[in-house]
Structure 1
Amino acid sequence: MALALAPGHILWVLPVSLGGISALLLRDGSVRRAALLGWGFGFGYFALGLSWILEPFQVDAERHAWMAPFAVVFLAGGLALFWGAAFAGAARWGRGAAGLLLLIALWSLAEFARAYVLTGFPWAAFGQFWVETPAMQLLPWVGPQGLALLTLVAFLPLAMLRTNPVWALLPGVMLAAGVALLPPPPEADRTDRKVRLVQPNAPQHQKWDPEFRWNFVRRAMTFNAEDPRPDMIIWPETSVPQLLNHAEDTLAAITEMAPGVPLLLGIQREEDGAYFNSAVFVGPEGRVRQIYDKAHLVPFGEYVPFGNLMARFGIHGFASQAGAGYAAGPGAQLLDLPIGRALPLICYEAVFPQDVRAAPERPDVLVQITNDAWFGTRSGPYQHLVQARMRAAEQGLPMLRAANTGISGVIDPYGRLGQALPLGEAGYVDVLLPAPLPATLYSRTGDGPVLFLALLLAGLGLRRGVKSPARS
């Protein structure tokens, strides 16, 4: 099933995988075996789908490569626990159609839990399968969890294909017909505001190396100087390799390369002994006007639980060596940019729909700055881009995306990638900012309605199956 994720998007595996696994569950009602079945299926899916997690450990392979297999095993095994619990619940409280209904509901609730519990990790969620299909048009209405629930509704009933082919095929056929009848989205309206997205392409093993790091800054500065001048320039996450506290001369030199053009860039800063991963809006005169500090940090990447204690044993977050790692900012905020009111998202924050909905007001544009060099060159950067596209479609907002190694580009409010730079290429792209759409249903309601529906389905399944004899 992991082959349905980016960059493969091999969708025929979905009916085979989901129909097959639900058939195995219905064939053997043992709770213990069901739990192992769900956990094993999840372990295989996450181990392959999240195999890019190996890449950060290769940046400093001498120190960290030995940890990589453990990271994959523990991450995949931990996430699979949610699925194992869903399968066990379906086997415990339901049989036949009731068991199938419970599996749909409990698996959906397990995905909710995976997206929210312990700061959440919704990477490789089911909605991400559909980004290259017309089904993506459902995101503004039902959001990613709704699209995941519809995926389960479409394919899990295939378990009954031999015993009840009509009911096995009906949900998927009806959903496919409904999606096929959706009109294609129109071309997005464009504003007259031109933005330059800069991609310096700094490999992670060189990005902080004193022999190389300023080469990438100088490279990005030459991109700033190219004519014709845009209305604004955006650099990626941590694109300036020094603390903001000492970067006054650097910012002045950067802005001198494009006189009169303001800049948004990623940089680290320190305040009262705490370190922040920040997005900084710099005016054309080289003065810092606004700062956003990343609020949703990557566990074990940007901070380590009990970090000061762990630091004594040499255990740090990959992206920070400062004791407990980065400090979290206060939360979502809007920046007043020349292109409108922007919601900045730093790297990992674009994975979470709730972080986008946390904006104090509806923005005009989403801006993601990221350093995807950590994710390597295989599946990671492509899966990260898919999630950025989903955030734009869910909100009906355009997104400007500046990535250190790619993929940088403009995403329209329907979630379509427009002008872009490919992965692993240094350069820049000048894009016209698309206009936002009216607020979507999902932007107003969030995941609440789908959560209520999943709970309702679980209640119906329990009502039908609770009288069945307990199994173990």
Structure 2
Amino acid sequence: MATPHAPLNRTAEWLGALTGWRRALAAAAAGATAAFALSPGYAVPLWWLCLPVLIWMIRGSATARGAFWTGWWFGFGHFVFGLYWISFALWVDIARFWWAVPLAVAGLPMLLAIFTGFGAALFKSLAWRWRLQGAAEALLFAVIWTAMEWLRGHLFTGFPWNLVGYGWSAWLPVLQFASVAGIYGLSLLTVAAAAMPAAFAGPPERRRQAMAGTAAGLALFAAIAGWGAWRMAGTEGRAAEDVTIRIVQPNISQKMKSDRDARLANFQRLLQLSSSAGWDKVTAVVWPETAIPWLLVEGEPFTLSVTEALASVTPPGGYILAGTPRATLDGETGGTRYWNGMVAVDSAGHLAATYDKFHLVPFGEYMPFRSILPAGAVSAVAASAGDYAAGPGPRTLDLPGLPPVGPLICYEVIFPGNVAASVAPDGAEGPGRPAWLLNLTNDAWYGETSGPHQHFDIARVRAVEEGVPLVRAANTGISGIVDPYGRITASLGLGREGVVDAALPQAVPDATLYAQYGDWTLVTLLLFLSCLIVPLARRM
């Protein structure tokens, strides 16, 4: 007699028995479908479908090697659909970089898929050796998946883009858990809950545990959502006293931005937008990454003329915070060092502070292994004057009249736990942790794709993790202000030109658990779930 679970069993067995190109296609399709759980789709429930499919296929793999390739194809499909937009940057100068399009479309996903492949192989080996089924199997899968995500975010300078937890960016009550265990911790719980239904396909004795595990996972997220709603209650509208930020989004196309003959017109466009009605009533004007189109060298007459122009649109007693390439003389070698930086200029035209990007984009802002490559063999895509140098790390700038600010340029905002200074450098007196984060970026490289939406959501999560507001100025899409609970209090959408004036939200009264302990909260969660595997396995 057929049971209600018979069709599910047959589906799981059919998926597990697939071989060759059919197995590769099915795994890649599952991974591609899971990409829609992330921004801008936010279809988080898809994980409850796609991860059980992956687990059924891994179960059916005869060897760890077969499991590796199953996981690899899942990751390949996932990253191709999730990161297709990276190739759009090459079309700005396609005559020069046509050869790199296949590398961007398929090459990067092929590399990133190694992490899912290795995780699948490890999961297959341990689940087989320990004879794990049901909830124990799901928890092992979640622990290994999260460990692979963490490694992807740290090895070889790291690329923690589109982690599972980012799908909750549009579900703010659930997103509040990032303040406790960060985005990796939210990914861990999501995968653990979403993997539970895999146990529905299997022996009858396993299904009761599958039902209990699935119900527990859903109840957990209901509890997180309830706690998150309670955490957010009554916090809307809290603003720092007498601080208003003007964000300028010029919406300059990347081709126009890269046109040397258009530099002056681009600069004048920013000046004009900055000085529009109400400029004298704001505390700070914020320009995006590399908004100043010339290389600034401190003390040179041309640089002084640029800062004078900036001062003309700086509010009285306030600042303009603008992204710019900078150059300094290296006192040790006598050579010149180039920086992707930010300058803070006051209303008198004085350079009040500088900041230099510390987490650079490989191949975009510097060429890895340049010292061992033939001279001139390969040049970095974005660093025309040579590789950029890396700044000293997260910093907090103390600008009188503004709360202490932690600048981040573009790509730097994607690294959890590495966006805010914790103490003053070298034990000296200083502002310590920032009261707000400032992210300057230029997403014009990627056109009207999902990339800018994903980038904005990633930045948004940093505000929740650190418990501080985030101000984001983009050359185009998406500029805005996010409060420490992830609410967007002001924004300028993708492809729009203009300014937005808005109050700076207040930081949370006390540092979040994640801000205090970073990924140690993740380690605690991983150990807790790992300890549950043994008693759950014994109950099968």
The alpha-carbon deviation at position 362 of structure 1 amounts to: 1.8
Mapped partners of 2:443, 2:472: distance in 1: 11
The alpha-carbon deviation at position 436 of structure 1 amounts to: 0.7
Mapped partners of 1:286, 1:359: distance in 2: 30
The answer (yes or no) to whether the contact 2:439–2:471 under 8 Å persists in 1 is yes
Matched residue SS, 1:290: strand
Mapped partners of 2:512, 2:313: distance in 1: 40
Equivalent of residue 436 in structure 1, options 507, 532, 539: 507
Which aligned pairs between 1:70-469 and structure 2 lie closer than 5 A? 70-94=103-127, 95-97=131-133, 98-133=136-171, 134-163=173-202, 164=207, 165-182=210-227, 183=229, 185=232, 186=234, 187-191=236-240, 192-228=242-278, 229=280, 230-245=282-297, 246-258=302-314, 260=316, 261-272=318-329, 273-307=336-370, 310=373, 312-323=375-386, 325-337=387-399, 338-360=401-423, 361-437=432-508, 438-455=510-527, 457-458=529-530
Letter in 2 for 1:213: R
The alpha-carbon deviation at position 226 of structure 1 amounts to: 2.0
Structure with more contact order per residue of length (Cα contacts < 8 Å, sep ≥ 6)? 1
TM-score, normalising length from structure 2?
0.82
Task: Give the share of equivalent positions with the same residue, in percent.
Answer: 38
Mapped partners of 1:310, 1:380: distance in 2: 31
Letter in 1 for 2:183: P
Larger CA deviation: 90-99 vs 221-230: 90-99
The answer (yes or no) to whether the contact 1:343–1:359 under 8 Å persists in 2 is no
Equivalent of residue 55 in structure 1, options 72, 82, 88: 88
Cα deviation, 1:27-84, whole Å, max 9, x if unaligned, reads: 4452121111111101110111011111111110111122111223221111111111
The answer (yes or no) to whether the contact 1:26–1:100 under 8 Å persists in 2 is no
Mapped partners of 1:99, 1:89: distance in 2: 12
Larger CA deviation: 334-343 vs 23-32: 23-32
TM-score, normalising length from structure 1?
0.93
| CA separation of 1:389 and 1:335: change in aligned 2, threshold 3 A | same
CA RMSD, Structure 1 to Structure 2 (Å) = 2.1
| CA separation of 1:119 and 1:271: change in aligned 2, threshold 3 A | same
1:69 matches 2:102: yes
Give the aligned length. Answer: 465
The answer (yes or no) to whether the contact 1:15–1:155 under 8 Å persists in 2 is yes
The answer (yes or no) to whether the contact 1:200–1:404 under 8 Å persists in 2 is yes
Cα deviation, 1:238-283, whole Å, max 9, x if unaligned, reads: 1011111142102202221345242110111111211000111111
Letter in 1 for 2:463: A
Matched residue SS, 2:326: strand
Mapped partners of 2:44, 2:167: distance in 1: 7
Mapped partners of 1:241, 1:72: distance in 2: 29
The alpha-carbon deviation at position 378 of structure 1 amounts to: 0.7
Mapped partners of 2:110, 2:187: distance in 1: 21
Cα deviation, 1:157-191, whole Å, max 9, x if unaligned, reads: 11112341413522322223213423351314112
The answer (yes or no) to whether the contact 1:90–1:100 under 8 Å persists in 2 is no
Mapped partners of 2:67, 2:532: distance in 1: 20
Matched residue SS, 1:356: coil
Mapped partners of 2:62, 2:215: distance in 1: 25
Matched with 2:10 is: none
Matched with 1:470 is: none
Unaligned runs of 5+ in 1: 466-472
Mapped partners of 1:256, 1:58: distance in 2: 36
Cα deviation, 1:194-248, whole Å, max 9, x if unaligned, reads: 1111111111111131222221211110122123221111111110111111421
1:19 matches 2:56: no
Return the index of the structure with the highest Cα Rg. 2
Cα deviation, 1:315-354, whole Å, max 9, x if unaligned, reads: 222221233x100011111112332100000000110122
Mapped partners of 2:337, 2:378: distance in 1: 18
The answer (yes or no) to whether the contact 1:357–1:446 under 8 Å persists in 2 is no
| CA separation of 1:259 and 1:181: change in aligned 2, threshold 3 A | closer
Mapped partners of 1:309, 1:90: distance in 2: 37
The alpha-carbon deviation at position 403 of structure 1 amounts to: 0.6
Matched residue SS, 2:349: coil
| CA separation of 1:282 and 1:316: change in aligned 2, threshold 3 A | same
The alpha-carbon deviation at position 112 of structure 1 amounts to: 0.9
Letter in 2 for 1:33: G
The answer (yes or no) to whether the contact 1:196–1:431 under 8 Å persists in 2 is yes
| CA separation of 1:34 and 1:419: change in aligned 2, threshold 3 A | same
The answer (yes or no) to whether the contact 1:200–1:217 under 8 Å persists in 2 is no
Matched residue SS, 1:118: helix
Matched residue SS, 2:502: strand
Matched residue SS, 1:267: strand
